[in-house]
Structure 1
Amino acid sequence: MLFRDELPPRTGPWASRFDSEESLVQAEDALRAAALATHDLSPVLPFEAVYGPFMNCAGKATAFAIDPREPYGPDGEVNYVRADFLTLGLLYGVYRPAEGTGPAGPVDEGDLWNTTVYPYPGGVLDPTTVPLAELGLDVPGVDRRFVHFCAAALGVEAVDDLGELRDTFDAAWPDYREVIRAGLLHVVRNRPLSVDRWYQLTYVRFPDQQDLTAYLAQVYAYLFDGFDAMPPAPQ
């Protein structure tokens, strides 16, 4: 089984961090509560839902990226831009059932292990609000939780930690497992998500549709069919 420390370092378009222990704890508390309330191992919340409206989101997190319009200045130094978390900031949580969790799934905080929690600026697609129909996911058995799974668990900051989820995935809520099963089968069989859409959702770039479909088929096999090797996403 592959783990993050066995893979090359992965970088997304943004380097982000919480600005204080307090803002991290607030985010983790809210995401964990959302996970338990909605049976979602990969909850995503807007900043405002956790910290309050507009200026309340200031000073909670920082993110930098290389300016895509002008990556380098006249002197050859890298130009960086700072994210605007006041306009749209998102909080991602990736959890897994704790060992010993019962067949009904996690029922309290002790039944959830944290894999990662991180802030990220909003992009072209907001996984908390984008209509399922816009992604081709408005089909029976699939709901918002599958979008969160793709954006968070298979997103650039956590995709290399998929191996941590598999060991106890059988202890996830049965309804959650069925949503993920239905979603993966749908995207493999019907290919509703283009590689560009996938990148907008996850910030993981695939070279073509065939590679994306093959990867998602391997994720399905890894989580549901006992496939031994964790499928690595492209760097």
Structure 2
Amino acid sequence: AVLPILAAQRSVVCKPASGKSERESDATDEGNPVILCGFGRFGHAVGRLLRSRGHGCTVLDHDPDQVELLRTLGVPIFYGDASRSELLTIAGAANAKILIIALKDAETTLKIVENARRHHPHLKIFVRAHSRVEAYEYLKIGEELVYRDTLDSSLRLGADVLRMLGESDEAAERATRLYRERDEIMVREMAKHRDDSQEFYGAAQEAHRTLDELMRSDIEANSAEAAKAG
């Protein structure tokens, strides 16, 4: 007799976005504490980091070509559409602790969040935002662990440019830290006014003024410290 969980697994059929023939999901419960949805350029780095530190991570991806390529390279990965609530269950969501959604498609991401909240409310959800606008949408529905695609690399580049322009390592690091902290506050504040354009743009203008004032104060403090040291 076929176990119920295996029967359910066999019944989950996914249609690849490339238009190829329908294909059954091959996901299974590996008993890992983390489920990672999406193993592209963003999810790959996250998954590799977790696994390299010895943390089990069940990976799901809906791109059949990507799955086959990674399997050829020896990367453990399952094929399946994580927006289907039954697939998360099959992948072990009932006993997992963390769900990472590293997809660039906002509609699919929102479906996964909705299904996870409904069927597996114990999961801590980490969400990738492909853009600032997507971050507003995820924050608006109550997701707090939202990570924007390019923020870290943008700030690292900015810090290196500040150093090239003569600022010290300490000043460059402090500037990027201040920017990050203020920007995270700004994104969350603007998300509250996403549906009111007047309030939204007003919040944006106020946030930019606050950031400029914060940076001016930091520059003045740096100058005062340098004068004392000199």
Which TM-score band (shorter chain)? Answer: under 0.3
Normalising by structure 2, we get a TM-score of 0.25
Bigger proportion of residues as helix: 2
With a CA cutoff of 8 Å and minimum separation of 6, indicate the structure with the bigger relative contact order.
Answer: 1
